[in-house]
Amino acid sequence: MKADILVADQSHFKYAEKIVELMGSSAQERGTVLAIRTPEYIKDKMEFHKAVIALDEDGTLAGFSYIETWSHTKFVANSGLIVAPKYRRSGLARQIKQRIFALSREMYPYAKIFSITTGLAVMKINTELGFKPVPFSLLTDDKEFWEGCYGCPNYDILQRNDHKICLCTALLFDPAEQKPKENNK
């Protein structure tokens, strides 16, 4: 299946409700927890071009992801990656993840980009993009970020361990560790 992956804008507001529904149903199916987002929150991400949306050629919502910044843009999280059931196992998640990563690098070239996940597929995609597994202590210390984990069934583990250990895997891309590309002359 082919889907167009676009930087979301105000013209995509009509998909906000469906995105929220898709996030909720997907989390339930997998037995995981995503931070609860409202259609207004999703629209805000779209308005400020901090999201990508995948649309089938007929305009059907196929997938979505957004950017969240923390610690005064020192850290960027690629969050809310979702693919509609009809489009799963087609490589679309990888394409969306690649585009949201590229958008993060364009908007915040010096920020460390992180992802927290229990999903093997997301870990694999992140590793291909240059992310490395890290302890939670290397991520943002922004209290608001960690409050987003509150609804997770494993929150007590995170809390007991002073936000340093959980069942999720933390992955980090640090642009300072990237080797400059050599000019081919």
- Give buried/exposed letters for 74-84 (b at 16+ CB in 10 A, else e): ebbbbbbbbbb
- Report how many domains make up the chain: 1
Does any domain span residue 123?
Answer: yes
Q: Which domain holds residue 105?
A: 3-175
Q: Are 180 and 171 in contact (CB under 8 A)?
A: no
Higher pLDDT, 49 or 25: 49
- Per-residue model confidence as pLDDT tens digits over 69-122: 999 999 999 988 999 999 999 999 999 999 999 999 999 999 999 998 878 888
- Copy the structure tokens of residue 37: 């987002």
One-letter-per-residue 3-state SS of 139-154: CCCCHHHHHCCCCCCC
Does any domain span residue 61?
Answer: yes
Here the CATH number for the domain that contains residue 55 is 3.40.630.30
User: What is the pTM assigned to this prediction?
Assistant: 0.87
Residue 151 pLDDT exceeds 60: yes
Amino acid identity of 64? F
Amino acid identity of 104? S
